[in-house]
Structure 1
Amino acid sequence: MDKQEITKLQDYLRRKFGNTTIKLTPNPRRKEMIEVTIGDEQIGTLYKDVEDGETSYTVTISILDIDLEDE
């Protein structure tokens, strides 16, 4: 993904979730993966899929069980 596409996705996610601290950063080791962070915490990954001429994006958010203990 190029910088312009990443910026569009980041702006979309910020609007959708009402959170301006969401940031998308390319992974230097894995070109196909974008890291999703909120503030300074990585919360997930984003991948692009192009199939039959249609483009979709998949965001996977990881929640650790130890993070739930704070609730």
Structure 2
Amino acid sequence: MDRSEITKLQDYLRRKFGNQSIKLQPNMRRKEMVEVMIGDEQVGTLYKDVDDGETSYTVTISILDIDLEEE
């Protein structure tokens, strides 16, 4: 993904979740993936998929059971 595509996706996620601290960071090893950050914490990944000329994006958010205990 190029920088303008990442910026568009980041802006979309910020609006959708009402959280301006969401950041998308490129992954240097995998061009089709970016890391989803909230502040300094990586909370998931976002993948780009192009199939039959259609583009979609999949966000995976990981929640560890120990994180649930912090509340």
Per the alignment, residue 67 of structure 2 pairs with 67
Per the alignment, residue 14 of structure 2 pairs with 14
Question: Structure 1: where are the runs of 5+ without partners?
Answer: none
CA drift at 1:31: 2.2
Per the alignment, residue 5 of structure 1 pairs with 5
| Distance in 1 between residues matched to 2:28 and 2:2, nearest whole Å | 13
Per the alignment, residue 37 of structure 2 pairs with 37
Instruction: Please state whether the residue corresponding to 1:63 is helix, strand or coil.
Output: coil
| Distance in 2 between residues matched to 1:32 and 1:52, nearest whole Å | 16
- The TM-score with structure 1 as length reference comes to 0.95
Identity of aligned residues (%): 85
| Distance in 2 between residues matched to 1:69 and 1:25, nearest whole Å | 27
- How many residues align? The count is 71
Per the alignment, residue 46 of structure 1 pairs with 46
Question: How well do the aligned residues superpose, as a CA RMSD in angstroms?
Answer: 0.8
Letter in 2 for 1:40: D
User: After TM superposition, which residue ranges in structure 1, 4 or more long, deviate above 4 angstroms?
Assistant: none
- The TM-score with structure 2 as length reference comes to 0.95
